[in-house]
Structure 1
Amino acid sequence: MSITVQRSFEDKGDKGAPGKLYLVATPIGNLEDMTYRAVRTLQECDIIAAEDTRQTRKLLTHFNISPKMLFSYHEHNKEASGPELIRYIIEGKNLALVSDAGLPAISDPGADLVKLAVAQEIPVIPIPGANAGLSALIASGLPTDRFTFLGFLPREKKEREHILTSVQSAQGTLILYESPHRVIKTLEHIGTVLGDRQVVLARELTKRYEEMLRGSVQECLNWLEEHPPLGEYCVIVQGITAEEEQQQLDEWWKQLSIEEHVAHYEQTEGISRKDAMKKAASDRGVSKRDIYNALLE
């Protein structure tokens, strides 16, 4: 792949030049979170592509925006609509992409449209604004210096557990999205795979009934038994500490039998069996004779 350079606001002065793709953030609940720049961009663009045109029309009406063209673009029509929208941009039209709430291309098909635009060397310009995951993170009280965004976990139990297992050793805070009818099941899986960690359940962010539930996984499950889940949730999960990560690294051998442990050192470090037994004994905090006797059994 050859390198490309995007200069978002460079005016080529060419009438035949392609337009631009603007990724416009919309409020996640409170309409006052709409930025001046977002309103102006939606007013000026030739086309607005929306996940749900009915929802977007309400937003546009509130800000007195009359779009020249409102186009439907969502998960179920992206294969057909994506190339058509790119064709409009290549023809010189500026397009604004919005999702129902928050930043487009985060857990929605906007990412696919961006990929198509980048392939055609179309400038992709972010118009920042509200985001549910980051809003929940900064208010959670959990570490913010490092984090992993997981979006919505898969519905299949096996796939869900696979993803959770893959971040079991992550030091960074975890950010998930979840629906009210699945949040209890997701918390149960978090408890099973990651343990009874500290979590924050944030719902109705920026709205009148905004709520942050902070506690351990089990404490939150107990709460939800008496207070049935309502609204979409951001689930913020504590990562492991540096000390816990080091402990996991130090105890990598715990899943190995003594024979496998000794064989590991023989194969990876090319040392004698005697020296491999000595290293295995050191890892396990036992004598070399204990290792020797165990191998004879």
Structure 2
Amino acid sequence: MTISQSLCWKSSKELRYHVVSSLKYLGVNPTKIRSQNFLIDSNIIKYQIEKAGINQEDIVLEIGGGLASLTKCLAEKAKKVYCIELDKIFSKFLRDYFSTYNNVEIISGDALKIKWPSFSKSVSNLPYQISSPITFKLLEQSFQVAVLMYQKEFAERLFAEPGSKNYSRLSVMVKLKGKVKYLKTINEHSFYPQPKVKGALVEIKPLNRELNLDIIQFGEFVTSLFTLKGKTVRSALKINFKNTFSNLSEKEKEKLEKLPFIHRRIFSLTQNELIELYNEILRAGWYSSERR
């Protein structure tokens, strides 16, 4: 199907009317549905698509289609759009809305539980409450680029540097597999109903590098450390590997004191330092000891 340039929104006024009237037609109060807020700024949608570089060769994945605000514009540019929507009311609305389109496929289901179709790019205004698990699932896929809307506070955690208050497991693990770029802050008035927090557009590109470590186990290791992020490495290891610590010989204790970063606080460690610490723990056999 050849799609005309008229498919996308002519103005924010038109988009806002579409959102408000569609909610009224569906009898939906958005404040009661998973804290959903709908983008009503057409310029931001065009910006998202531009930054993702969507063209007629692209197969695009959208998480959370809502009222078709973004989906409609993606359909104008892309070869194929897969849109995953959990809410049954919105899923039916989307199916009806795109019933005459042969380049849009609506997938009803939980994006965290179902298998995703193959895609080249993702452009999504994510439900804020699933931002973290969706991001990690995204980084397990093969794709070129993703342009995603997050809550600004969440986005700041993505970009947090070692030693900062927002530095966390999220900061470490996302940058392990993806290159992230902060694109733009989105003000509250760009949504309906207007939320109390700002949004942020973020670009993610997979790094596609070979990592010589068990990502799942490393993630567990980082998670356990960051529950004690204010403690020193020595204290955190003593708590997380208490069985091993209680049986250490004097020689092993001396070796422990020579571990890199042993007297640094967890939140000050860089990604590479965390990997080095993890490898030291593996070489010492602590994981196997704790899991007997």
TM-score, with structure 2 as normaliser? 0.32
Q: Which has the larger radius of gyration?
A: 1
Q: Which has the higher contact order (CA 8 A, sep 6+)?
A: 1
